[in-house]
Amino acid sequence: MVKDNQFKPNISKTYEQFVLEEQNLEQQDLYPELDYEDIGSGKGYGPTDKGKKKSSNNKTEVSGQHLINTLNNKWGNDNFNLDVDGSAIKEDGVNAFNFTSSAGARAGVGGAIAEVGASGSIFRYDDGVGDLRIGGGSLGGEVGGGSGGVTARYTAQLDAVNMQSHGVQARIGLDGGSGFTAGPGGVEVKAVGFGVSVGKKMGISTPVGELSVDFEETCNQQ
């Protein structure tokens, strides 16, 4: 005796049904417990709280008057980035004994640039908008050139306090950095901590402190 459901007709799927099923599969989060980001983006890639906006200050790259990264980000670029961000204690934006390091190289319509940096702090508070570090230090540098400008410089800092928010940076501490940056955004010159920046970034620095405003970053966060 043959059961009614022993044989079922082989009904082929329509193209519309196939596309809908494929789209539904792609939209499923197969690993919801993991955070992930495209390494080709211009953000930092350390551990982050899920759902929080990544701070633009997570990377240790130095910012300046050139527009190499800005142009490359807007119109495509080939890049390599390696970033590490860790803390002994991390809870709701509060970090104790934080360490961040990064290295990268980019090439695109804005030009080619290579960057490297490392920083650490005893205490750090980062809510995705502002970044406050107490008792920290950093080393970093960049070299590059192209249609977005030219840059060659390094940073060497020991900070008592370092605060960044909406493109505004204020710091108190020792600074031995030097370099030169020029581009469509303006010019920045610095020698052993003494420096001035005029253009999209306006500021002044001394061997014992710095105050600056990056209008590009300020406008992007409005």
Per the domain annotation, does 10 fall within a domain? no
Q: Which residues pair with 144 in a beta bridge?
A: 113, 151
Cβ pair 64, 103 in contact under 8 A: no
Residue 101, number of CB atoms within 10 A of its CB: 19
The pLDDT of 66-74, averaged and rounded, is 85
The pLDDT value given to residue 48: 37
pLDDT surpasses 60 at 2: no
Q: How many Å apart are CA 190 and CA 211, to the nearest integer? A: 14
pTM over 0.85: no
User: How would residue 75 be classed by pLDDT, with cut points 50, 70 and 90?
Assistant: confident
Strand, coil or helix: 109: coil
User: How would residue 64 be classed by pLDDT, with cut points 50, 70 and 90?
Assistant: low
| Higher-scoring residue by pLDDT: 100, 56 | 100
Per the domain annotation, does 79 fall within a domain? yes
Per the domain annotation, does 107 fall within a domain? yes
Per the domain annotation, does 9 fall within a domain? no
Q: How far separated are the first and last CA of the chain, in Å rounded?
A: 75
| Higher-scoring residue by pLDDT: 127, 210 | 210
Tell me whether strands 201-206 and 209-214 are parallel, antiparallel or unpaired: antiparallel
Per the domain annotation, does 167 fall within a domain? yes
pLDDT surpasses 50 at 168: yes
Per the domain annotation, does 2 fall within a domain? no
Per the domain annotation, does 7 fall within a domain? no
Domain containing 126 equals 15-220
Specify the number of domains making up the chain: 1
Per the domain annotation, does 8 fall within a domain? no
